[in-house]
Amino acid sequence: MIAVSDTVRSIIDGGTFTARVQVQSWLGDQLLADDVPVTAATEESDSTLTVPERITLTVPKRRDGIDWTPVNDDDPLKACGQTLKISIGVSKGADGMEFFQRGEYLIQETEENDDGLTLSVTCVGLLALIDEAKFAAPFQPSGTIVSTIRQLVEPALTLNLDDAPADRSVPASAVNWDSDRLGALGELLDAWPAVLRMNAGGWADILPDAVPTAADAVRSFTNGSGGTVIAAGGSSSRDGGFNVVVATGQAADGGEVRGQAIVTNGAWAYGLGPANPLPVPFGYSSPLLTTVAQCTAAAQTVLRRKMREAVLRRFTITAMPDPTIELGDPVLVTTDHVTGLLCTVEAIPTLPYFPGSMQLKVVSTV
């Protein structure tokens, strides 16, 4: 969750507030426009996508004598590397507005709308820079995980490694990547294990793949409270169900190493749950894993991701907008079926920057 003052936190939690959107256009370290006029803006994001964030803005073609039509390569709304830094201001009444940056996004496309009077600007998360930057020649990692990640993403992204796991060596000649730079990054993160999250300042946070606790929850949502509506996912399938992840790698002497992580509770509990009392394994293998401990840690990371995809409970929350909420935030959910269930925000299908309802998709942690 984006940090704000206690006053603004209280105002947002109250559900009714006046907000202002401020958009700056940058090209590298050059400020092209300090306040792009915006008449409509919506954010949607989904952590299951390779590039989770997508922003849609409506901008008048002409405002205060300025024509915002992108013509030259250094125009503010041109899709030639321009990024938009989007800030949200929340009114504190007589104390004015408090602004906080929501994020920095790459302009993907700017089109003139059918009315001939406005432009539609589509932006995506900065991970798009890594997604589109395929390897021009096969890439073989060397050095450490951190140095390899730097080779993969810099200077397109700025890394924040303050809370990253301990660095370690990459096995010599362990792997050779042909084209997919973002896929290579994901393989490194799984093997470490760690997660990458783009923060509101436009940096890439590298964080341990940790399971949140109830004490970490940043918001509580209760069905029927303050206009909040929570709908439980209504589907159920055995597809993708399993109760153990087995991760394998190769030790320095060439022998196989393996580690595992098991489902410990619920219907798919290993050897205990009614879904299947026999092992239902999911296999994961990486040459970046060289010890049993590394295999076990990677298995736990893959287990959490696979459980989110197939086993855990899902809810859709419709509520008053909270522009500080982010993907991965832990929240507590209370409905007729559950009380104070710890979930994480998996997707934000709709987050309006102007008046409207916010929609979140959350998944339980157990």
Per the prediction, the chain carries an average pLDDT of 93
24-35 pLDDT tens trace:
999 999 999 999
Q: Give the single-character DSSP code of 210.
A: P
| Whether residue 252 has pLDDT greater than 90 | no
pLDDT at residue 343, rounded to an integer: 94
Q: Alpha-carbon distance 94 to 192, whole Å?
A: 49
| Whether residue 172 has pLDDT greater than 80 | no
Q: Of 18-22, 105-109, 230-234, 354-358, give the range with the top mean pLDDT.
A: 105-109
In this structure, of 11-20, 257-266, 317-326, the range with the lowest mean pLDDT score is 11-20
pLDDT category at 265 given cuts 50, 70, 90 is: confident
Mean pLDDT of 343-350: 95
Task: Name the packing angle between helices 181-191 and 145-153 (round to 10°).
Answer: 160
| Whether residue 355 has pLDDT greater than 90 | no
| Whether residue 297 has pLDDT greater than 90 | yes
- CA 294 to chain CA centroid, Å, is 24
CB 360 within 8 A of CB 345: yes
CB 114 within 8 A of CB 137: no
Q: Alpha-carbon distance 364 to 366, whole Å?
A: 6
205-239 pLDDT tens trace:
999 988 899 999 999 999 999 889 999 876 777 88
Tokens of 35: 């306040």
Q: Alpha-carbon distance 356 to 90, whole Å?
A: 15
pLDDT at residue 308, rounded to an integer: 80
Q: Could you give the strand order of the β-sheet that contains 194-198, starting from the edge strand earlier in sequence? A: 159-160, 204-208, 194-198
Strand-pairing partners, residue 44, are: 54
pLDDT at residue 171, rounded to an integer: 87
Q: Alpha-carbon distance 13 to 325, whole Å?
A: 11
Q: How many beta carbons lie within 10 A of that of residue 236, not counting itself?
A: 5
Phi first, then psi: what are they for 277, rounded to 5°?
Answer: -75, -10
pLDDT category at 16 given cuts 50, 70, 90 is: confident
pTM confidence score: 0.91
pLDDT at residue 91, rounded to an integer: 93
| Whether residue 66 has pLDDT greater than 80 | yes
Phi first, then psi: what are they for 214, rounded to 5°?
Answer: -60, -30
